[in-house]
Every structure is written in structure tokens, then in C-alpha cells.
Amino acid sequence: MFEISTIRRKTLGIGMAALALTMIAAPAHAQRDPGYQNAREAGQIGEQMDGYLGTVGRQPDPIQRIVSDINIKRKANYMDRARSQSVTVEEYARAQGCILILRTEPGEKYQAPDGSWQTRTSAPPQRHSSCP
């Protein structure tokens, strides 16, 4: 699906700790919205491999708006962080997708490498082979 060059992978690897710390606030902020938390717990939304939140199947407009709002905020954050690490927004977002999928909790939805939606169990989630 995507490849990150060795140089880009090293660049991303150096900033991975900083990346993880910078993104803690975004999901925490989103979790303050009861609509977000309820949709996540109900399996209506989940983490995608591209670093953005996605809807699982067709969802009502209020859920679509929550996802869109969070993704707008994520993209703005990704753009800033990508510039500071000299990588593309897409590379940064995909690296973040690896982290966000890894941080899902049992019962939450995430996108597997084949593009299907999976429900996280107590086992580690399926992640793309390029994930660190």
C-alpha cells in the first residue's frame, strides 16, 4: 500500500517519540466530546491506516461531522509536524496511523492492512508491514 524510503523511515524514527507525545493531546481532546466517545465505543468509527479517523460503514450525519472535524484538526497538526520533520504530510500521517492503531483498545475498530475493519481484541492489532 505504501512504502517509506530508508532515509524517510530513519527521519520518522528519530521523531517517533516526539510524534507520540505531540499526538496524545489530539485524541484526549476528542475524547471530551461524548459523541466521539460514544461512536468509538459503538464501533461506528475507527482508526485508519492513513492516520485519519474513519466511519465503519454508512453512518448518520452527526457521526460524519464528528469524523470530519477531527480529521480537519489532525491534518492541520500533521502539516505542522511534517514540515518540522522534513517529511511529506502523507508520510507523517501514515506513521501516525501506525501509532494510533497500536493504541486502540479492545473493542475498538481499526483498519487492517487489507483495508477491512477489525475489532481490536486483547491481541496486538494487525498493522502494515512498514509500521515501526
Asked if the model's pLDDT at residue 1 lies above 50, the reply is: no
Name the residue with higher pLDDT: 47 or 25: 47
- CA gap 82, 104 in Å, rounded: 23
Return d(Cα 34, Cα 69) in angstroms, integer.
14
Q: What is the pLDDT of residue 132?
A: 82
The per-residue pLDDT for range 26-67, each reduced to its tens digit, is 455 454 688 999 999 999 999 999 999 999 999 999 999 999
Please report the pLDDT score of residue 33 as a whole number.
Answer: 80
Residue of 45 and 9 predicted with greater confidence = 45
Q: Give Cα separations from 124 to 27, 93, 113, 121 (angstroms).
A: 20, 20, 13, 7
Quick check: 3 pLDDT over 90? no
Please give the pLDDT value at position 32.
67
Beta-carbon neighbour count of residue 122 at 10 Å? 7
